[in-house]
Amino acid sequence: MTDKNFTMLLRAWVAARPQSFERPEIDFTRFDVAYWQKWERMLRYARDRNMIISAVLDISTHHTQPVAGSEDEQRYIRYALARLSAFSNVTWDLGDDLDSYRDEKWTHKTGTFIFENDPYRHLATSHPVNPEHQDRASAWFGFTSIQEWSRRQHELMLDQRRIQLKTGRIIPQTNEEYGYEDHYPKWAPKPPGDSADVLRRVAWDIAMAGAYGTAGESARRGVNIWPDTGGGWINGRGDDTQIMFQGYAHMVDFFTGFEWWKTAPHDELVNKGAYCLAEPGALYAVYLPQRGKAMIRLDEGRYRANWFNPRTGETKTLPIASGPAWTSPESPDSGDWALLLRKE
């Protein structure tokens, strides 16, 4: 995908032959200061917009990088921490698809090295192909970052929470890669499996499990794909044809409208097919993936209730709900809907 608008030659060090991909002759003892200054400008720009940046420290098995576990590699990580850790909006990621080229011993040692050398203790993670290859019980490991493309995300992320609970450490559970808008490789769900609407619904499945997910922009625009915009899903440049984030914005409005961090999954309180996040006795958030009614077991009391349309952001006020059991009216149309009940 390399062309005049995009290159994979993202290099932290000085090289004798900087334009060579195979034989750049890198001096791992000398850092390219301009490269790191670009990182700092980007982090400052993102911080001003309340955006968190994942700094991926390692990305491939290519030979033009420091040897795993070497002094050169540790120097590089120390330098990255020294230059970037003063920014509040950074998380560390040891590498993309990490278990395809690094073992778990390296992961634990390197993660611990970051934990001990970052004075601000930013959250850190790894991003393996296999969800089992995570250092869940270690102090350095701040959140999970799996990749899993199935469309059973609600059950999957509930399982991830249960697995984490067994370690005795409560940390965020994240599916960092579950699809890109209009991206249909042979092994991924076929159309409309990665449409903007399907992925929006998947994001709700994940969030209603008390977990987190990222979002990938369109694969149908960008580098070497007409019209060549120099971007697309590879490096984050979008245009108005990419509509997935509109649906995600409504989702953000819903969850930031209450203290979501005080809730936990309580699907046992609702009928089959519905999902529930609750702070029992205070608040109940319910998601209906398909048209229907929600039957909710409430603590005693009176609750203000409203519908929320995940596709438009529209809200509809409902009559007061009362415990110990309440059944909602039929959802307003055939799409997915959410309910929010707060104790008076």
Write out pLDDT tens, residues 17-26. Answer: 988 888 999 9
Closest residue by Cα to residue 299 from 277, 271, 321: 321
Please tell me the CATH code under which domain 264-343 is placed.
2.60.40
**Residue 283 tokens, joined:** 């608040």
Q: If pLDDT is split at 50, 70 and 90, which confidence band does 278 have?
A: very high
Residue with tokens 């450490």: 169
Closest residue by Cα to residue 264 from 222, 301, 209, 307: 209
Burial 174-203 (b: 16+ CB within 10 A, else e): bbbbbbbbbbbeeeebeeeebbbbbbbbbb
Instruction: Please state, in angstroms and as integers, the Cα–Cα distance from residue 329 to each residue in 43, 153, 310, 313, 333, following that order.
Output: 47, 27, 17, 19, 11
For the ranges 59-68, 208-217, 278-287, the maximum mean pLDDT occurs at: 278-287
For residues 144 and 172, what is the distance between their CA atoms, to the nearest angstrom? Answer: 7
Indicate the pTM of the whole model.
0.90
Q: How many CB atoms lie within 10 A of CB 42?
A: 13
Within the chain, all domains assigned CATH 3.20.20.80 are found at: 13-261
Q: How confident is the prediction for the chain on average, in pLDDT?
A: 90
Chain centre distance of CA 165: 20
Residue 15 in contact with residue 25, Cβ under 8 Å?
Answer: yes
For residues 243 and 240, what is the distance between their CA atoms, to the nearest angstrom? Answer: 7
Please tell me the CATH code under which domain 13-261 is placed.
3.20.20.80
**Does position 77 have pLDDT exceeding 60, yes or no?**
yes
Higher local confidence (pLDDT), 173 or 177: 173
**Does position 1 have pLDDT exceeding 60, yes or no?**
no
> What contacts 124, CB < 8 A, 6 or more positions away?
91, 92, 93, 94, 111, 114, 115, 118, 140, 141, 142
User: Stretch 34-50: mean pLDDT, rounded?
Assistant: 96
pLDDT score recorded for residue 28: 96
Residue 205 in contact with residue 154, Cβ under 8 Å?
Answer: yes
User: Stretch 73-101: mean pLDDT, rounded?
Assistant: 95
Within the chain, all domains assigned CATH 2.60.40 are found at: 264-343
Residue 92 in contact with residue 57, Cβ under 8 Å?
Answer: yes
Residue 100 in contact with residue 130, Cβ under 8 Å?
Answer: no
**Does position 261 have pLDDT exceeding 80, yes or no?**
yes
**Does position 159 have pLDDT exceeding 60, yes or no?**
yes
Write out pLDDT tens, residues 200-254. Answer: 999 999 999 999 998 776 666 665 556 666 555 555 566 777 788 889 999 999 9
For residues 82 and 79, what is the distance between their CA atoms, to the nearest angstrom? Answer: 5
Write out pLDDT tens, residues 107-147. Answer: 999 999 999 999 999 999 999 999 999 999 999 999 999 99
The dihedrals phi and psi of 145, each to the nearest 5 degrees, come to -150, 80
Residue length of the chain = 344
Residue 215 in contact with residue 244, Cβ under 8 Å?
Answer: yes
